[in-house]
């Protein structure tokens, strides 16, 4: 069995990343079988609970107030609407419900208190609850933990050098600091990145290196392909080929064998065969449902058909979760 390591060198990860693709997928599949249940994929649902008007200038994001896109700033969705969406997601087979708000940081308002209440209620549905609300203070992270939050998403997006070329309103260290606050409050970490923004292979390798050398690997690593949206600075970027996604997923799987690796944004443009190769490369989590925040996503019916054809099975909530991450009253599945 492959050892869990946090001391990967940049050169080691570069050698893995640059392995011929079929050999790389085979190697990743071997590691995957040693550490994960073959053919098991977690089904997740992501809902934008507060859309648009974000003060950050992330070049890839249509929700930024700096960009002229069709996404308009909206108030937070009604609480009942969000709870209803979570129930529908559970009924459809999702075991993780993720709530995203277009905030620079957690708000010290009644909206944040409403999020805390919703985290508790959705956790009581025996679902893993994940939030992505921007930067957090230690006090906010503690409140989310007390409410029952299982996971917090805060992507590194890319390597630090490239990050500084596509975002100017906050620093890479701000991302790392929020992840540290999440860790310190015993919330599991969801952190990955986006490819197809104009970065080099070396930038992608740096991203994997930064994730794989954290003191604890992120429990969840989303791999996203850029969805180029009109009105953003990256609107003319070409579509990411499936084999680039498979290469990133395989490299993440080999270097972080116990993590969930999520085939995330961009999956809507992939054929079932291309997705199958990504699952073989080590992906074992997807988002399903018509939207990923503001962009199109795969329909549930399509995904269930794919699961049937490929012989995939849905992963239970809290499977193999660390005790410190499991909310009170919930039990980790084995």
Number of structural domains, the chain? 1
Is residue 182 one of the residues assigned to a domain?
yes
- The reply to whether 98 sits in an annotated binding site is yes
- Residues serving a catalytic function are 54, 58, 61, 98, 130, 190, 262
190 marked as binding residue: yes
**58 annotated as belonging to a binding site for a ligand:** yes
Residue 30 lies in a domain: yes
Residue written as token pair 């969840």: 220
What does the alpha-carbon distance between residue 235 and residue 63 come to, in Å, rounded to a whole number? 13
The reply to whether 105 sits in an annotated binding site is no
Q: What CATH number should be reported for the domain holding residue 239? A: 3.20.20.70
**What are the residue ranges of helices labelled H in the chain?**
10-17, 21-35, 79-91, 110-123, 138-147, 160-166, 172-184, 201-212, 242-255, 272-280, 300-310
- CA 91 to CA 34: how far, in whole Å? 31
In a domain, 282, yes or no: yes
The verdict on residue 321 lying in a domain is: no
Would residue 219 count as lying in a domain? yes
Residue 324 within a domain? no
Q: How long, in residues, is the chain?
A: 334
Q: Is residue 4 part of a domain?
A: no
Model's pTM, two decimal places? 0.91
| Ordered per-residue pLDDT tens for the chain, 334 residues | 667 899 999 999 999 999 999 999 999 999 999 999 888 999 999 998 888 677 788 888 887 766 767 777 678 888 999 999 999 889 888 999 999 887 765 566 688 889 999 999 999 999 999 998 988 989 999 999 999 999 999 999 999 999 999 888 889 999 999 999 999 999 999 999 999 999 999 999 999 999 999 999 999 999 999 988 888 888 889 999 999 999 999 999 999 999 999 998 888 889 999 999 999 999 999 987 654 445 555 677 888 889 999 999 999 999 888 889 988 867 666 5
Which structural domain, as residue segments, surrounds residue 251? Answer: 10-316
Q: Are strands 188-190 and 193-195 parallel, antiparallel or unpaired?
A: unpaired
61 is known to lie in a ligand binding site: yes
**Domain presence at residue 258:** yes
């Amino acid at each position: 069995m492959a050892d869990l390591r946090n001391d990967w060198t940049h050169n080691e990860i570069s050698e893995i990343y640059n392995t011929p693709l079929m050999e790389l997928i085979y190697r990743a599949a071997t590691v995957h079988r040693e550490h994960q249940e073959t053919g098991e994929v977690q089904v997740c649902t992501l809902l934008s609970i507060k859309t648009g008007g974000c003060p950050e200038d992330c070049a890839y994001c249509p929700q930024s107030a700096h960009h002229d896109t069709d996404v308009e700033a909206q108030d937070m969705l009604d609480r009942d609407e969000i709870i209803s969406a979570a129930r529908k997601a559970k009924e459809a087979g999702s075991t993780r419900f993720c709530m995203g708000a277009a905030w620079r940081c957690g708000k010290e308002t009644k909206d944040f208190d409403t999020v805390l209440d919703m985290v508790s209620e959705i956790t009581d549905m025996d679902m893993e609850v994940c939030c992505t609300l921007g930067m957090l203070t230690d006090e906010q992270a503690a409140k989310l933990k007390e409410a029952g939050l299982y996971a917090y998403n805060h992507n590194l997006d890319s390597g630090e050098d490239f990050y500084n070329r596509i975002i100017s309103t906050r620093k890479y260290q701000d991302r790392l600091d929020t992840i540290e606050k999440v860790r310190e409050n015993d919330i599991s970490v969801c952190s990955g990145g986006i490819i197809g923004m104009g970065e080099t292979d070396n930038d992608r390798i740096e991203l994997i290196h930064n994730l794989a050398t954290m003191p604890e690997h992120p429990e969840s690593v989303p791999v996203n392909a850029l969805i180029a949206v009109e009105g953003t600075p990256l609107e003319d970027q070409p579509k990411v080929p499936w084999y680039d996604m498979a290469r990133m997923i395989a490299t993440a799987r080999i270097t972080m064998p116990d993590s969930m690796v999520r085939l995330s944004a961009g999956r809507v443009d992939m054929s079932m065969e291309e997705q199958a190769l990504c699952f073989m490369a080590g992906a074992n989590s997807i988002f399903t449902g018509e939207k990923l925040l503001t962009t199109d996503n795969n329909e549930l019916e399509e995904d269930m058909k794919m699961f049937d054809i490929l012989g995939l099975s849905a992963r239970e909530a809290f499977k193999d979760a660390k005790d410190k991450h499991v909310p009170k009253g919930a039990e980790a599945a084995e």
